[in-house]
Amino acid sequence: MNRNQKRTPLFTALENHPKQNATSFHVPGHKNGSIFPKQGKTYFQDILKIDLTEISGLDDLHHPEGAIKEAQELTADLYNADYSYFLVGGSTVGNLSMILSVCQPGDKVLVQRNSHKSIMNALELAGAKPIFISPAFHKETESYHLLNIDQVKKTIPLHSDIKAIILTYPDYFGRTYPIKEIIEEAHTYQIPVLVDEAHGPHFTLGSPFPMSSLSLGADIVVHSAHKMLPAMTMGSFLHIKGSYVDRYKVEHYLQMIQSSSPSYPIMASLDLARYFLANITSDEVIEVIDEVTKIREIFQRSKEWHTYPENVSTDPLKITLEINSTKKLKETVALFEEHYIFPELVTSNQMLFIHGLDTYMDKHHLQKSILSIEQRLSSKHFDDKIEVPFITYPSINEMPFSYGEMKTKDVEWVTWEQAKGRIAMEAVTPYPPGIPFLMKGEIITENHIDTINALIRNGQHIHYKGHDIQSGILVLK
């Protein structure tokens, strides 16, 4: 870091704006918080003071020359990027912009199969022709996060026209893989590597966190600052490094996709999150890790679930519990909620808990709650097994049509019984984690159908378009 990371240019500009005495003849309509429904005013009044707009001294996200420019440069300095951008629509807009900037309709791109739906949506918008690479199933953690590096290395030379490689690192559970090998291999063919690092904005701190893909040579990296740093929801970063991508194209799509009235509170929180990360000391990181270790131990004491031990390639801030009975899992989630303990994510057999980057937890309360949950669980008998079958994906899967070609095709609706062997024309995405389980353009297998039925029976929240998912799906006519 070469710059003064104690500065918070955007937040300071907002703080110094003379709100109290200023006469607002500009948007937003709450006029610095003076017009606002009474019942919400107490909660909102402080934040409304900095909910300003592109007036003198407050710069313009789409043409930054002042405070926002400096705040973004400080971010690039922290991450050792060539350029960093503030995003006010989450990593979603980062993923859309980075993919649109490298893909023309019909272009082939190599894409990690278990990517967030924003990646899939971007591929569809770009009209790309993805070749999906599926991570192998990792038995120890019952997850699909291990990307087969050899498979990637073998696939690249088979397609001389691949325009980019699009990866997700880490996964939702903080698990990583040797991404550097893929980046180096891609670069020998001058192929840019775009990384959705939504869950790793703190990896730039280095050990004990996994390495950041940006430091390992990735060309564009997107970070959901709001997920792991103290930033407001939707606050995210996009970073560019190296010469394989055209920053003007990325900027073009960012200004196209992002609001022309970006939220100043979100942008200011990004400025402060960057400040926080740049100034955290190694002693503070040790204290955080110490707290997470104690919490992990509290979880590990219970026989009612399996707690995944810490692993060097996994983000230590993530704690995953596994429960091998659907009924027990549901009961456990309900008991945690009874104690006002809310996990980030519940899958068909796992619960994910995410710790923050500071010490804030009442460990005594947690310990007492867990003891009480344990007692309640041990008094019950659960003899069912997990209902959702494991899906197997082909390790390499080229779509029959590009998304551009699919746009021109007719669709029809079929029941699940009729769907086997047909090409899905809508994605089915359990949310969270928001990773499409069946993708638009993919051939529907029996395994897909069984799993979707099991997810529905399980009451899993599913994102899909249109009609009743219980009975069928749109397919290519």
Ligand X SMILES: Cc1ncc(COP(=O)(O)O)c(C=O)c1O
What is the binding site for ligand X (CB under 6 A)? 90-92, 95, 116, 118, 168, 172, 196, 198, 224, 236, 433-434
Q: Which residue carries 């649109």 as its tokens?
A: 100
Cβ proximity to ligand X, 195 vs 321, nearer residue: 195
Closest residue to ligand X, judged by C-beta, is 90
Least distance in Å: CB of 92 to ligand X?
3
Cβ proximity to ligand X, 102 vs 423, nearer residue: 102
**Maximum distance among all Cα pairs of the chain, rounded to whole angstroms:** 67
Cβ proximity to ligand X, 110 vs 229, nearer residue: 229
Cβ proximity to ligand X, 240 vs 475, nearer residue: 240
Cβ proximity to ligand X, 404 vs 434, nearer residue: 434
Helix ranges (H only) for 280-411 are 282-300, 326-338, 363-378, 403-407
What DSSP assignment string belongs to 211-267?
Answer: PPTTTTT-SEEEE-HHHHSS--TT-EEEEE-SSSS-HHHHHHHHHHHS-SS--HHHH
The CA distance from 76 to 451, in Å, is 43
Cβ proximity to ligand X, 236 vs 326, nearer residue: 236
Buried b (16+ CB within 10 A) or exposed e, 259-297: eeebbbbbbbbbbbbbbbbbebeeeebeebbebbeebbe
For the chain, counts of helices (H) and of strands (E): 15, 18
Least distance in Å: CB of 86 to ligand X?
13
Least distance in Å: CB of 200 to ligand X?
9
CB contact at 8 A, 171 and 114: yes
Kind of pairing, strands 318-322 and 350-354? antiparallel
CA distances from residue 121 to 52, 228, 396 in whole angstroms, order as listed: 31, 24, 20
Least distance in Å: CB of 176 to ligand X?
12
Least distance in Å: CB of 201 to ligand X?
10
Least distance in Å: CB of 199 to ligand X?
6
Least distance in Å: CB of 88 to ligand X?
10
Kind of pairing, strands 236-240 and 306-307? unpaired
Cβ proximity to ligand X, 273 vs 335, nearer residue: 273
DSSP summary character for residue 182: H
